[in-house]
Homo-oligomer: A and B are copies of this chain.
Amino acid sequence: MVETREQALDAVFHALADPTRRSILRMLAERPHGLSELAPAFPISAVAVSKHVRTLEAAGLVARQVQGRSHLCRLEPMALLTAHRWLQAYERFWSQRLDALEGLLEEMKRDADPA
């Protein structure tokens, strides 16, 4: 479904950009859930929840195991690695900022409490 790495990032970030879908992932992180077990947890129709799950599936974040007439969904965590690695490339920028903040705090402490 997803071809290139850029398309994978598109799909994963888009899937994560919705609070209902993030909630679904949180539930699946705890344990696998059937679709009909997932749906009542949200104030929207079961069809809408099913659509969200399909979006998560398309991004590779969720896998579905069909058992008769119930569909068991489980977290597929490796897809999160795509997003994580992209973010890691920027890690040095925010750690730089955090270091600068820490430095400032040290300075303030020294000024407020001169030995």
Contacts and interface: CB of A to CB of B under 8 A. Distances in A.
Contacts of A13: 13-14, 16-17
Contact of A77 (B14, B19, B93): B93
B6 A10 contact: no
Given A13-B13, A78-B97, A90 B29 contact: yes
A75 interface: yes
A80 interface: yes
Interface stretch (A45-53, A64-72, A81-89): A81-89
A18 interface: yes
Contact of A19 (B10, B17, B75): B10
Contacts of A84: 84, 87, 91, 94
